[in-house]
Amino acid sequence: MPIRLGTNIASMNAQRYLGMNTADYTRRIERLSSGLRINRAADDTAGLSVSEGMRAELTGMRQGVANAEQGVSLIQLGEGALGQIGDMLRRMRELAVQSANSTINDQNREGLSAEFNQLSAEIDRIALSTTYNDQVLLTGWGNAVSQTSALSTALAGFTGVKEVGISGAVPGIYHFTDANTDDNQITLSVDLPDGTRLSQSIDVGATLDRDGAKNLVATGTTFVANFDRLGVQVILVGPGADPTSTTLKTQVADGGAGGTVVVGTEPVSIPAGASLTDIADRLNTTLAALEPPGSARYDATLNEVQIETAGNRVSDNTGLLGLVGGNAYIDGRLNGKEILVTAAVGGVLQVGPNDEATQRISLNIGDMRASGAELNLTGLSVSNQESARAAISRVDGAILVVTRQRGQMGAVQNRLQFTTATLENAIENLSAAESSIRDADMADEISRFTRSQILTQAATAMIAQANSLPKNALQLLQ
């Protein structure tokens, strides 16, 4: 090997390896000090991108757990207040039953009426004062079903729908398809803002009776049509099962032999053979003039006159029109009807890290005021025997509403507990996955650190040896 003085190749080679070993040695010290394999993007660009996304998702999941736990607290607060309202309703029913008894007189009933009215007022006060973080819960919280019959036409009183409950239903207009009058199938659908259509069909045949050529809910009974995938529960009633309904419908093809129907105190003359359209017009003219005003219309699809009495008396003692209660479900009566679910502030629990419908749980609490549309206790009295008897069934209906609302809240609470458990499991597993990308393997790093340390020391020594090589040239000069 030639001896050169101008360029010490051996020293340069040793210096190059010393630089590499020193850089690796420094990297191992950094990783052992931080405990992380990736301390900067240059360490692993792809790994950094993946782990940063995982960290963001983990942060969202941890907050989702906190949100779910806060949701449980909110439900417990509301459900506790509903428990007290239920106790008061049972006491109100007890007072109504006591007042309906003939062993007491109207003077005795004055005390019962005073307590009954105070309990009704207290229900309203509790509903208005039950708040969570300044949000009133029991006057309607979350999405709600519009009770306006012009918008929610399924609640107009002639379809057999007594009540609609929602649990997680998205806002929108829900359409019923019930065209076939002998297939026992009901379809409910809603179009979402993004153009997606959600739809569910259920078979109600097992719950319907056969009456002549019609399938209908049995007389005096109710049935819950549960569209669970949409979060909608529709309570269907049979003939006579909805004592709160003020609607009537005809069962004749025309005016027959003719006669008179009394509306309020006004007689309405029905000519012989009058068409149902003419009958509807005559009844509507008289009903509209009453206070409160009622209405009558002819439904060509069902070939019947539908009468909204608004609580006014309609007497057909001769059976001229064959009037019966208008609100009873018969297969086909829901076709083309709608339910409007309106959006409201609150009622959505964000339990996931992303902006997706599957990352949210909806909670709906109805209006639990005594004066609200759901409990419908306005105007009740136990001051006389007749009104006390009428109050019993109304209070029974309110107790059912409160019980069902508590059941829905309890179901959501149980769901949230499973949601929390699922999220905690996902956090554990995702943390393990993120750790495998981001965290340093300490055993491997210590081994590499020791190797780099030895190589750095060796390279330093070799530079010293390489720098001594040119001295050999002096031997040739001697």
DSSP 422-450: HHHHHHHHHHHHHHHHHB--HHHHHHHHH
**All residues at 6 or more sequence positions from 90 whose CB lies less than 8 Å from its CB, including other chains:** 399
Residue 2's pLDDT is what?
A: 66
Q: Is the pLDDT of residue 477 over 80?
A: no
Residue 37's pLDDT is what?
A: 83
Q: Is the pLDDT of residue 470 over 60?
A: yes
pLDDT in tens, 208-229: 888 877 889 988 898 889 998 8
Two tokens, residue 359:
């990352």
Q: In terms of pTM, does the model score above 0.85?
A: no
Residue 3's pLDDT is what?
A: 65
Stretch (H or E) spanning 60: helix 45-99
Question: Smallest Cα–Cα separation from 368: which of 127, 156, 194?
Answer: 127
* DSSP assigned state of 343: P
* Secondary structure (DSSP) of 83-97: HHHHHHHHHHHHHHH
Question: Smallest Cα–Cα separation from 217: which of 232, 230, 234, 196?
Answer: 234
pLDDT in tens, 400-451: 889 989 998 998 999 999 999 999 999 999 988 888 888 787 888 888 888 8
Answer with the residue of higher pLDDT: 307 or 474.
Answer: 307
Buried b (16+ CB within 10 A) or exposed e, 64-86: bbebbeebbebbeebbebbeebb
Q: Give me the chain's average pLDDT, please.
A: 88
Check whether the bond before 292 is cis (ω within 30° of 0): yes
Determine the average pLDDT of the residues in 139-165: 89
Helix, strand, coil abundance in the chain, percent, nearest 5: 45, 20, 35
Residue 382's pLDDT is what?
A: 93
Q: Is the pLDDT of residue 21 over 70?
A: yes
Q: Assign 474 to helix, strand or coil.
A: helix
pLDDT in tens, 256-279: 999 999 998 899 999 999 999 999
Determine the average pLDDT of the residues in 342-351: 82
Residue 331's pLDDT is what?
A: 92
Residue 158's pLDDT is what?
A: 93
Across the chain, which distance is largest between two alpha carbons, in Å?
151
